[in-house]
Structure 1
Amino acid sequence: MIEFIINILIGGLLGVFGGLLGIGGGLFAIPTLSILYGMDQQLAQGTALAMVVPNIVLGIYKYNQRNKIEWKTAAILGLCAFALSWFGALIAIDLDHRAMREIFISFLIFIAIWNLLQMLGKRATTGLRDLAWPYFAGLGAVSGFLGGLFGVGSAVVATPVLTMFFGATQVVAQGLSLAIAVPTTAATLVTYSMHGQVNWATGIAMAIGGVLTVSYGVRAAHSLPQHILKVIFSVFVLISAALLYGQL
């Protein structure tokens, strides 16, 4: 019972970060599960997904309340992401645990550096650009594949791309990224579960905590300046990478 309560509290903390950064909390749940529970990379990713799915659904609802999501664009992104997420998940399941962790750490470092360079570039975000649908389809496909491979990659990749190249503000990008993450995380969770890579007891307890707190993170995201959100995002991504590297 004590362990269950602790998992709820941990999930609550991760839910705040998930709502704040538009990533469902999974990005930080994976190193948490790896370090505190000694889970290998695939099991940590699968268990994190069990927490992330309800957080993402609630996060989309809260983001849409405050800043209406462009659902046509979200549908294109989400459908293409869903189609590729299965392949990424199947590849991840078959990879060596250590190799999978090394790839994930490299991915985190790349994303953090990319996000910081984007902030330094100070590119204007005047509104989501009216681009042809193949651009959004391509972003959805790449994000979906990485989401399946890493369990959290879809939103992490899509957010900086939408702000840097598609003209979206940070908050709008995070809302659209959550729309991509719903089908990818659901498909990936099913795949990981079928291969026995989900600790449901831990994942469900953390999901309860996340659902209770994700709305506070969303509220904070709409009140903080964009550059502050980017700095917070990059710092915590790098911390996650460093902690995981220490477990190799």
Structure 2
Amino acid sequence: MPASTDLLITLPLGAALGFFGGVFGIGGGIIAIPLLVLAFGMPQPLAQGTALVLMVPNLLVGWWRYNQRHPAPLRPAIALGVLATLTTWVASHFATRLTPTTLRIVFSVFLLLLAVHLLTRHRRNAAQVDAARVNARLIPLVGIVGGSSMGLLGIGGGLLATPILTSWFGLRQTTAQSLALALVAPSSVIALITYASAQRVDWGMGLPMAVSGLFTVSAGVALAHRLPERRMQAAFAWMLLVTALWLLLEPYLLRRLG
């Protein structure tokens, strides 16, 4: 396919992913990876590595902007980021050695469990603070959970870290999100480097998507503030559920039809 034709596909695609990433408050990878697998036929490891190209600039910019308004406590942020980065490095090396089929199943199950959790959890006020149940000195250990997810799946660090920090450690939502960004931003860079060194990145597709996505993420964030939060969360959860089931069932259905 000519390069000009590639750009006609990747630039609008990146813009759309950046926009919806802004709407749903995510890095875009959780949408991009299934799309690259199902619509473009990418093997799961290549899709995860390519999606990281899109996610890294969004996460780094998001980290910088969020900390301007809600600075993270320095010492726990550094400890969390360091431990998450090391864990990401180990997990991503492990992920690049898995077969595409195995990694696809692991990714699909993660999406499925996340969707079920989002659909069944009790709605709470974002400003509500739970009583701390775990000593705050253990906060850096959350980096192991988030880093493992970032390295293995290329996504999920913030999705896992934020609720743990609020419900287990009693942190405010803004503090938890700031610490979660301190976890996922450097972890995403390490994950991308590892996937790239293992030849699991399509730069020709990832770079144009990353560039165009940066121009639309702000518009997505602006729209998110105008939409009903509960309906958005429900729509996002149902989208994840359908995507996870399709990722799991598509190979079986294709074999039956073949």
Q: TM-score, normalised by structure 2?
A: 0.83
Given that 2:14 and 2:54 are in contact with CA atoms closer than 8 Å, whether structure 1 keeps it comes out as: yes
Structure 2: state its 5+ residue gaps. Answer: 252-258
Which secondary structure state, in structure 2, belongs to the residue aligned with residue 247 of structure 1?
Answer: helix
Equivalent position of 1:117 in the other structure: 120
Equivalent position of 2:150 in the other structure: 147
Counterpart residue type for residue 215 of structure 1 = S
Is the deviation greater in 143-152 or in 15-24?
A: 15-24
Counterpart residue type for residue 80 of structure 2 = L
| Residue 89 (str. 1) matches residue 92 (str. 2) | yes
Counterpart residue type for residue 140 of structure 2 = A
Task: Provide the rounded CA distance (Å) in 2 between the counterparts of 1:224 and 1:175.
Answer: 23
User: Of 157, 175, 178, which aligns to 2:160?
Assistant: 157
Equivalent position of 1:70 in the other structure: 72
Q: Which structure: larger Rg?
A: 2
**Pairwise CA distance, 1:221:** 4.3
Equivalent position of 1:240 in the other structure: 243
Task: Provide the rounded CA distance (Å) in 1 between the counterparts of 2:119 and 2:164.
Answer: 13
CA RMSD of aligned residues (A): 2.6
Task: Provide the rounded CA distance (Å) in 1 between the counterparts of 2:228 and 2:234.
Answer: 10
Given that 2:130 and 2:167 are in contact with CA atoms closer than 8 Å, whether structure 1 keeps it comes out as: no
**Pairwise CA distance, 1:132:** 4.0
User: Of 179, 188, 191, which aligns to 1:188?
Assistant: 191
Task: Provide the rounded CA distance (Å) in 2 between the counterparts of 1:218 and 1:170.
Answer: 18
| Residue 137 (str. 1) matches residue 150 (str. 2) | no
Task: Provide the rounded CA distance (Å) in 2 between the counterparts of 1:99 and 1:229.
Answer: 31
User: Of 1, 4, 7, which aligns to 1:4?
Assistant: 7
| Residue 202 (str. 1) matches residue 223 (str. 2) | no
Task: Provide the rounded CA distance (Å) in 2 between the counterparts of 1:88 and 1:33.
Answer: 22
Task: Provide the rounded CA distance (Å) in 2 between the counterparts of 1:44 and 1:221.
Answer: 27
Equivalent position of 1:47 in the other structure: 50
**Pairwise CA distance, 1:39:** 0.5
Given that 1:80 and 1:137 are in contact with CA atoms closer than 8 Å, whether structure 2 keeps it comes out as: yes
Residues 21 and 90 of structure 1: CA distance in aligned 2, closer, same or farther (over 3 Å): same
Given that 1:115 and 1:160 are in contact with CA atoms closer than 8 Å, whether structure 2 keeps it comes out as: no
Counterpart residue type for residue 70 of structure 2 = K
**Pairwise CA distance, 1:91:** 1.2
Task: Provide the rounded CA distance (Å) in 1 between the counterparts of 2:15 and 2:21.
Answer: 10
Which secondary structure state, in structure 2, belongs to the residue aligned with residue 161 of structure 1?
Answer: helix
Given that 1:30 and 1:45 are in contact with CA atoms closer than 8 Å, whether structure 2 keeps it comes out as: yes
Which secondary structure state, in structure 2, belongs to the residue aligned with residue 6 of structure 1?
Answer: helix
Task: Provide the rounded CA distance (Å) in 1 between the counterparts of 2:83 and 2:202.
Answer: 28
**Pairwise CA distance, 1:76:** 3.2
Given that 1:16 and 1:215 are in contact with CA atoms closer than 8 Å, whether structure 2 keeps it comes out as: yes
Task: Provide the rounded CA distance (Å) in 1 between the counterparts of 2:23 and 2:130.
Answer: 20
Counterpart residue type for residue 63 of structure 2 = I
Q: Deviations over 1:158-182 (max 9, x none)?
A: 2332344344566664444333211
Structure 1: state its 5+ residue gaps. Answer: none
Counterpart residue type for residue 101 of structure 2 = R
User: Of 90, 104, 127, which aligns to 2:107?
Assistant: 104
**Pairwise CA distance, 1:186:** 0.5
